[in-house]
Copies of this chain bind each other. A is one copy, B any other.
């Protein structure tokens, strides 16, 4: 949090059919459905999140990610970072407060990878779901499905991740926690963070702009990853891969698809990062192990199924 960016605060995803999407994000993943706005967008959150929402689903003709937002410490920080983005040469767009219910003014910019990101300082604080702020129980008893705890990060594919990392590091104060480097020393992948987490957002180099690989949600244990796998099977949900471990971050994970073809990850564990840590490096000749620590080989689908 070198420059006041706190965490990934929301992601807006395009889905082909809202009811089917709710079966996935609410009933299977276990996010809490918060409300539907006047545009028909549905807001959800993980039960441990204190702000009003973190996932926004928008019905559209094609799947993918509209934008990802980061919360910052204050409106003063928001002003500073907006100024810094402009000075860095970014096109910046202001979205007025209230365009997302309960969310303050958003400052939107496009990264070199072609993805839209936003910063915002204010969102309605509704507290953790199902537990009290005073003498809180360990967890709410009426969670559904995988009981996902929070929206954690996105993995995005696009060109010029080198430039995108520079932007996030220099302007927004992110750290490079982990990277994949090819024999020429060029970044093929970058995992960056504004906090102790191994990644708040990650990028893989790819010629096509603005591609979405997955949104990831945090579980607490490897047994919950197994439970997630069982539920994927019981609900005839399309599995990508897992349960397994990543080499990068060493998180324990499973990937599957929402009914629109957007990939979802649930995971637990993984290494921690502090801002004085050197980045962990994986080399492209070990890319298979970097991605899937046990299989040590990539499946084609993981590299090419993007929305």
Contacts and interface: CB of A to CB of B under 8 A. Distances in A.
Interface of A: 1-2, 6-7, 48, 50, 71, 73, 125, 127, 133-139, 141, 195-197, 220-223, 226, 229-234, 239, 242-245, 247, 250, 252, 254, 269, 271-272, 274-278, 280-283, 286, 289-290, 293-296
Contacts of A48: 271-272
A255 to B, nearest CB: 11
Q: How many copies does the complex hold?
A: 4
Top-10 shortest CB links A-B: A196-B196, A229-B294, A223-B223, A138-B250, A138-B230, A135-B286, A1-B1, A134-B281, A137-B234, A195-B196
B239 A296 contact: yes
A2 B229 CA distance: 37
Contact of A244 (B127, B195, B243, B281): B243
A136 to B, nearest CB: 6
A276 B138 contact: no
Given A239-B295, A282-B135, A222 B226 contact: yes
A216 to B, nearest CB: 15
A205 to B, nearest CB: 19
A38 to B, nearest CB: 27
A133 B223 contact: no
Contact of A223 (B7, B221, B280): B221
A134 B134 CA distance: 45
A278 B50 contact: yes
A145 to B, nearest CB: 9
B271 A230 contact: no
A266 to B, nearest CB: 13
Nearest to A134: B281
A71 B296 CA distance: 37
Contacts of A283: 134-135
A293 B73 contact: no
B196 A290 contact: no
13 contacts: A1-B2, A48-B271, A50-B276, A125-B276, A134-B280, A135-B286, A136-B280, A137-B234, A141-B234, A196-B197, A226-B252, A232-B294, A239-B295
A189 B71 CA distance: 29
A73 to B, nearest CB: 7
A222 B247 CA distance: 19
Contact of A6 (B134, B222, B245, B274): B274
B247 A229 contact: no
Contact of A278 (B73, B133, B243, B295): B133
A135 B294 contact: no
A268 to B, nearest CB: 9
B73 A275 contact: yes
Given A135-B282, A196-B195, A223-B222, A244 B229 contact: yes
Name the residue in A269, A272, A290, A294 with the highest tally of chain B Cβ atoms < 10 Å from its Cβ. A294
